[in-house]
Structure 1
Amino acid sequence: MPGTRTRGLLALGGIAVAAVLTLIGHLEVNDDLSPWSLTVSDFAVSDRGGVIDVAMAVLAAATAALIPVLRRLGAGRPAAALLGAWTAGLVVAALVPTNEPGAPLDAAAYLHRYASVVAFLALPLAGWLLARHRGRAAPWLRALALTSLALAAAMVWSAYPGHRVLIGLAERLLILTEVGLLAVVAASLVRRPDGAAVTPVRGASTGGRPR
C-alpha cells in the first residue's frame, strides 16, 4: 500500500487536476450559460461526457485514495463512511446526467440531484469528524465544514423559496469550500511522516474499541 505521504500527494494532485478541468469546462461552454444563475451540472449537461464530468470522477478518485490511510490512522468508521458517500455521490453525479436548464426533471435528473445533495452534505460532516484527529489542521477543517454547511443552506434556500437567485454562485462557493476542505485533509497527510501514530483529541472516539 502506498505510504501516508504518497496518498496525500496523489490526492492533492487529483484535486489540482479536477480544478483545472472544471475551469476549462466553464470556458468551453456556450456563452449564453451564466455561472451566476446556473449550476455546474447545468454546464456539464451541455457538454455531456466532457471535462466537467471527468473532473468529478477525478475528484472522487482523489478522495478514494485518502480513505484507506485515514482509516489506518484511526479516523473512525463514521468519517470514512461519509467520505465514501461523498465519493459515491460524485461518481453518480458524473455518470447520471441532469436535464437541460429549464426542462422538467426526469428520473435520471432526480437521481443526479439527490446524489449531489448527499455528496455536498457528507463531506463537511466528514471534515468535522476528521478535525478531531488532524492536529494543526483541525481549526481549518472545522471552519471549512461550518462554511460548507452554511453555503449548502444558502443553496437550498435559492433552489426553493429563492427562485434560484444566484444559485450558481452559491454552488460554486460551496464547491470551492468543500474542495478546500478535502485539500486540507490531504495536506495534513503529506506533513505526517509515514507510520506516525494518530493522536486524537482527548475524549474523541476512533471508531474502534478502546485500547
Structure 2
Amino acid sequence: MASDRHSNKVAVAAVVALVVGAALVLLLQVIPPTDEISALDTTLSEYGTGRNKWIFNLALILLATGSVAGLAMLLREGRLPVPAAALGAVWSVGLLVIVAFAKHDWRIDPTMDAAGMAHRAASIVAFVCLPLAVLASVRRAFPYAPRRRLTARLLAIASFAWITVIVGAIVVAIRTGHDWWLSTPYGLEERGLALTELLALAVLILPVCDRVARVRPAARTRGGPRPHQLGTREGRSAH
C-alpha cells in the first residue's frame, strides 16, 4: 500500500537522521580540538563548549528530528501509546534544551548558573524518558514481531542498567566523601548509555519486514485483535 511505503520511507529517514547524528558525535572525538577530550571521564556535553560546538548542536538537532519523525509515524499508525509518545516528546525536547543551554564550564565559574542547571536537568530527564518510552510501546509497536519486541525491550532494560551503574557510583562516591566524577569512568558510561538508547530507538522505529507485515492482515481476517486492542478486553474477546 502507498501509505505503508510512505511510513517505511519516514522510518528509514528517521533512522538515517539518528545514525548521522551519532556519527557526528563520534567525529568530534577524532577531530581537533575536541579530540583532546577524554572519552573515559568527560561527558558528551563537553563537545558543546568549544570551537566545534556547532557540530555537537547539529548532531543533537538531527537526533531530535529523527526521534520526532519516527515516533510520529508510529503514533499515526496506532503503534505508539499516548504515554510513550509523551515520553518520546520529552526526550526530543530535552535534546533541544541541551542545545539551547550549554553545559556549565567549571573552569570559568565554580558555581553553576541557571543555564547549566537547565542543561543538566534536560540531560537527566531525556536519558530516563527514552527507555521508558521504548518499554511502554514495544507491545503495541510489534504485536506480530516477537524478536523485534524482545530486542527493543532488552536494549531499554540495558539502558536502565547503565543508569543504575552511573547513579550507584555517584551515591557511593558521595557517601565515601569522594568526587564522584573522579571515582568512575563517567564519560565512558554516558557514551555507553547514549549508544544503547539510540539502538533501542532505532529498533523501535525501523520498518517491520514484509514477511512479518503480511501476517498482520491475515490475523485480522481471522478475527484476531488489532495492535491497539492488544491487552484490552476487546482484544481478548477476539480469540
Q: TM-score band, normalised by the shorter chain?
A: 0.7 to 0.9
The aligned counterpart of 1:208 is none
Among residues 38, 42, 46, which one is paired with 1:34 in the alignment? Answer: 38
C-alpha separation between the residues in 1 aligned to 2:70 and 2:30?
A: 30
1:130 offset after TM fit, Å? 1.4
> For 1:104, what is the secondary structure of its paired residue?
coil
1:145 offset after TM fit, Å? 0.8
* Bigger Cα Rg: 2
Kept in 2, the 8 Å contact 1:158–1:166? The answer is: no
1:48 offset after TM fit, Å? 5.8
AA at the equivalent of 2:200: L
The aligned counterpart of 2:56 is 52
C-alpha separation between the residues in 1 aligned to 2:29 and 2:168?
A: 24
C-alpha separation between the residues in 2 aligned to 1:178 and 1:186?
A: 12
C-alpha separation between the residues in 1 aligned to 2:209 and 2:64?
A: 19
Among residues 59, 64, 69, which one is paired with 2:68 in the alignment? Answer: 64
The aligned counterpart of 1:100 is 105
The aligned counterpart of 1:151 is 162
**What TM-score comes out, normalization by structure 1 length?**
0.86
| Number of residues of Structure 1 aligned to a counterpart in Structure 2 | 206
Higher helix share: 2
AA at the equivalent of 2:227: T
Distance change >3 Å, CA 31–CA 25, structure 1 → 2: closer
Distance change >3 Å, CA 30–CA 147, structure 1 → 2: same
The aligned counterpart of 1:16 is 19
Gapped runs of 5+ residues in structure 2? 174-179, 218-225
**What TM-score comes out, normalization by structure 2 length?**
0.77
Higher RCO (Cα < 8 Å, 6 or more apart): 1
AA at the equivalent of 1:92: V
What does the per-residue CA deviation read over 1:133-160, in whole Å, with 9 as the maximum and x for residues that have no partner?
2233110111011110110122223445
Kept in 1, the 8 Å contact 2:12–2:206? The answer is: yes
Distance change >3 Å, CA 100–CA 158, structure 1 → 2: farther
The aligned counterpart of 1:119 is 126
Gapped runs of 5+ residues in structure 1? 206-210
> For 2:120, what is the secondary structure of its paired residue?
helix
